[in-house]
């Protein structure tokens, strides 16, 4: 083959054709032989390969912006293509499964650990002696006349265990016995004479101990005694044998002031105050940007958020929030020859909520909530200002305005996507 410079068969031209896949079969071997001998030709080939690799990295040239695609389709009267590439069903299944598992894990943790960590609100009363001399366990179930075959509340005759508040010994025992020391007898003697044994549950609260006894008339006296052996509450709760409701209500009121006698948890919530937990489920609808137009259904454009919090200090609660919602973004996922926009993302964060109870009006309380966390694409921050109202049964509602900001990266560039939304939902305090 003639490699005359005056033709189109110079080594350099052949090399160009070789790299473009346009070299004829008969010319290949000649070029290979030339390449093997000519370092300058080898260098040229390396440069051409490097240029081609650089072109491959020019992804910006191959990606039409989302707004341009929208413009093309809307000009033709069509819907934007990102709506025609819904997320695979299995991705939705995975997302909802993860959310459901997370919700179950968090709620389980709160439900089973709250007693241990925050103290139980379950009010209890001591066992009581009935008229027929039978001792019954009145604890745990808030039932004043619950019979328990295997009660962990043993009957004791005016005895106080070493782990109660009136002694200087260890207070952390799970024993349910309290032996009232002899010096306590004047207190007991001040009460109506009792023929029956009295048992109370000890508690590890260092300040208070519950004491109850029944006199011969069947009247139960409940007493709350502090360390100085002073009676804080001396409350006759009346006949209880057949008056379950009366006994229950009276004992319930009293029980709110005494410690939890759960054999597993001996903390006293009387002096420690309540740590309220709140679950808030709400929807969020964006009003600031137009990603709603990009979604094919209301479901796609609707946000669901769940905030689980626990009281930290007065008016301030700390919790976790998670949800899913669409954010306006450039193409992020590659599909066929181009990129498509992800319809929605999942996010999770830690938050704090402050209730401005001091400016509450008709029970409607302003609040501010901040959440910081992460999403599938990057970090996310949220701020929620609104009003809430909770009824006596613990159920309530809230509504307000929310602003959020997401940071994400695409093709080596960082972007922010923000939105302002209306939000509202239901909440449950427990």
Partner 1 sequence: MKKKLEEHRDSELFYMLKGDKQTAEKAFAELYARLSPRVYAYCKRFLGNREEAQDVFQEAFVKFFESAKVEREMQNAPAFIIRIARNLCLNRRRKETVDLVSFEEYMIEDYEQLSDKEELLEILKAAIELLPDEYRDAFILREYDGMSYQEISEITGEKVANVRTRIHRAKQKVRDILQPYLREMQKFN
**Element spanning 399, H or E:** strand 395-410
Q: Alpha-carbon distance 344 to 298, whole Å? A: 12
Tokens 């995975």 belong to residue: 94
Least distance to partner 1, CB of residue 75, Å: 6
Is-contact 161 201, C-beta < 8 A?
no
> CB-wise, 83 or 269, nearer to partner 1?
83
Least distance to partner 1, CB of residue 27, Å: 13
Beta-ladder partners of 241: none
> CB-wise, 43 or 287, nearer to partner 1?
43
**Element spanning 138, H or E:** none
302 by Cβ neighbours in 10 Å (0-12 / 13-18 / 19+) ranks as middle
> CB-wise, 84 or 141, nearer to partner 1?
84
> CB-wise, 338 or 381, nearer to partner 1?
338
> CB-wise, 51 or 299, nearer to partner 1?
51
Least distance to partner 1, CB of residue 313, Å: 46
> CB-wise, 38 or 190, nearer to partner 1?
38
Nearest to 284 by CA among 405, 383, 421: 421
Tokens read off for 268: 């006293």
Least distance to partner 1, CB of residue 345, Å: 22
Q: Which residues bind partner 1 (CB under 8 A)?
A: 8, 12-13, 16-17, 20-22, 44, 46-48, 50-52, 54-55, 57-58, 60-65, 68-69, 71-73, 75-79, 81, 84, 335-338, 412
> CB-wise, 39 or 77, nearer to partner 1?
77
Is-contact 288 304, C-beta < 8 A?
no
Least distance to partner 1, CB of residue 329, Å: 18
Is-contact 181 159, C-beta < 8 A?
no
Main-chain phi, psi angles of 344, to 5 degrees = -160, 160
> CB-wise, 78 or 391, nearer to partner 1?
78
Least distance to partner 1, CB of residue 33, Å: 20
Tokens read off for 261: 């006698």
Least distance to partner 1, CB of residue 10, Å: 9
Burial pattern 144-168, b for ≥16 Cβ within 10 A else e, equals: bbeebeebbbebbebbbbebbbbee
> CB-wise, 150 or 336, nearer to partner 1?
336
> CB-wise, 63 or 146, nearer to partner 1?
63
Nearest to 384 by CA among 419, 359, 344: 419
> CB-wise, 60 or 189, nearer to partner 1?
60
Least distance to partner 1, CB of residue 65, Å: 7
From the centroid of its chain, how far is CA 414?
29
Least distance to partner 1, CB of residue 305, Å: 32
Least distance to partner 1, CB of residue 64, Å: 5
Q: Alpha-carbon distance 128 to 136, whole Å? A: 6
Least distance to partner 1, CB of residue 295, Å: 16
Main-chain phi, psi angles of 200, to 5 degrees = -125, 165
Q: Alpha-carbon distance 54 to 98, whole Å? A: 41
Here the contacts of 389-395 (C-beta below 8 Å, separation 24 or greater) are 389/363, 389/364, 389/365, 390/363, 390/427, 390/429, 394/428, 394/429, 394/430, 395/426, 395/427, 395/428
Is-contact 267 260, C-beta < 8 A?
yes
Residue 229 Cα distances to 151, 168, 180, 430, angstroms: 28, 14, 11, 34
Is-contact 45 33, C-beta < 8 A?
no
């Amino acid at each position: 083959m003639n490699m005359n410079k005056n033709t189109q068969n110079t080594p350099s031209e052949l090399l160009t054709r070789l790299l473009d896949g346009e070299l004829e079969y008969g010319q290949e071997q000649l070029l290979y032989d030339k390449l093997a001998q000519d370092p300058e030709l080898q260098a040229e080939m390396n440069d051409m390969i490097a240029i081609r690799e650089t072109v491959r990295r020019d992804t910006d040239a191959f990606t039409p912006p989302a707004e341009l695609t929208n413009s093309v389709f809307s000009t033709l009267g069509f819907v934007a293509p990102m709506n025609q590439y819904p997320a695979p069903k299995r991705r939705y299944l995975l997302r909802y499964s993860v959310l459901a598992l997370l919700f179950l894990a968090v709620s389980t943790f709160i439900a089973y650990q709250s007693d241990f960590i925050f103290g139980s609100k379950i009010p209890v009363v001591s066992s009581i002696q009935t008229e027929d001399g039978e001792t019954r366990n009145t604890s745990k179930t808030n039932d004043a006349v619950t019979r328990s075959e295997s009660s962990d509340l043993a009957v004791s005759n005016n005895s106080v265990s070493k782990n109660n508040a009136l002694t200087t010994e260890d207070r952390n025992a799970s024993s349910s016995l309290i032996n009232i020391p002899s010096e306590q007898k004047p207190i007991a003697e001040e009460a109506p004479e009792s023929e029956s044994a009295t048992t109370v549950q000890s508690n590890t609260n260092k300040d208070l101990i519950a004491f109850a006894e029944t006199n011969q008339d069947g009247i139960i006296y409940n007493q709350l005694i502090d360390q100085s052996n002073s009676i804080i509450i001396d409350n006759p709760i009346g006949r209880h044998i057949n008056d379950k409701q009366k006994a229950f209500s009276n004992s319930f009121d009293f029980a709110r002031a005494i410690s939890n006698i759960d054999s597993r948890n001996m903390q006293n919530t009387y002096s420690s105050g309540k740590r309220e937990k709140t679950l808030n489920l709400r929807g969020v609808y964006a009003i600031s940007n137009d990603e709603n137009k990009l979604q094919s259904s209301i479901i796609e454009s609707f946000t669901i958020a769940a905030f689980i919090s626990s009281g930290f200090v007065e008016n301030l609660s700390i919790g976790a929030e998670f949800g899913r919602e669409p954010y306006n973004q450039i193409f992020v996922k590659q599909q066929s020859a181009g990129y498509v926009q992800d319809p929605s993302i999942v996010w999770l964060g830690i938050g704090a909520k402050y209730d401005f109870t001091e400016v509450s009006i008709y029970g409607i309380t302003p609040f501010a909530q901040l959440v910081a966390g992460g999403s599938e694409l990057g970090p996310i921050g949220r701020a929620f200002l609104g009003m809430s109202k909770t009824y006596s049964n613990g159920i309530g509602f809230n509504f307000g305005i929310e602003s959020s900001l997401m940071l994400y990266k695409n093709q080596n560039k960082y972007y922010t996507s923000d939105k302002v939304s209306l939000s509202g939902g239901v909440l449950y305090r427990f």
